[in-house]
Amino acid sequence: MTRIAIIAAFPGELKPLVRDWPHNARNGVSFWALRNSEEEWIAACAGAGLDAATRAFTAIEDGGPVDLLLSVGWAGALNHDVTTGKAYNLAGVIDTRTGERFHCEAGAGELWLATSPKVAGETEKRRLASTYSAALVDMEAAAVARLAAMRHIPFYCIKGVSDDLAEKLPDFNCFISPGGQFRMTSFVLFACLRPWRWPALMRMGENSKRASQSIAELLLDFLRG
């Protein structure tokens, strides 16, 4: 049986894909699985960042070898050529800590994604675009790509655009725990006291919802193709 692993950071990134899949959680990792006679699709998320992505993959691998590995989820735009709410099949991933480049399997898209250790604001986005010629930024994909390379597993990366390059958003790094969990209660309190932030946050919320749907559609087309 072919085991296909799908790694994301947060359940919202996977929601349209795994809505009807059986779910369970163990040691801080959430799992969804769908099986037939030939394939097992397993999705997992453990939070934001490289370490959380590694924990999610390790938890999947504890159940058996992985034959295909995908990093999916939300990403920020690094230029105005990508469309918010749309998902992209990427050509490769760059680890901004080391400069390493990990190519996705042949037949993927043309755009590259940069993985940053922190949520990137507008200034950092422009620096990443200039330095790496990347179109998108996230916090997890390089860890997943490295795990795939170490095990010689085919790797793909599908990311949906949650926020535009010039969107004025809060510093989300303040609300991410050392373990990669989003401190929702603290963030809601922060946002409630700053109504001038609401329009940008509402746009991001709508973009993220559409991006998750686009990720699910692109991923299902890919896996069923």
Q: Is the pLDDT of residue 107 over 70?
A: no
Please report, for the domain that includes residue 23, its CATH number: 3.40.50.1580
Q: Per-residue pLDDT tens for 133-149?
A: 999 999 999 999 999 99
By residue range, what is the domain housing residue 159?
Answer: 2-224
Name the pLDDT band for 1 (thresholds 50, 70, 90). confident
**Whether this model's pTM surpasses 0.85:** yes
Q: Per-residue pLDDT tens for 181-206?
A: 999 999 999 999 999 999 999 999 99
Give me the number of domains the chain comprises: 1
Average pLDDT taken over every residue of the chain = 95
pLDDT of residue 222: 81
Strand partners, 102: 93
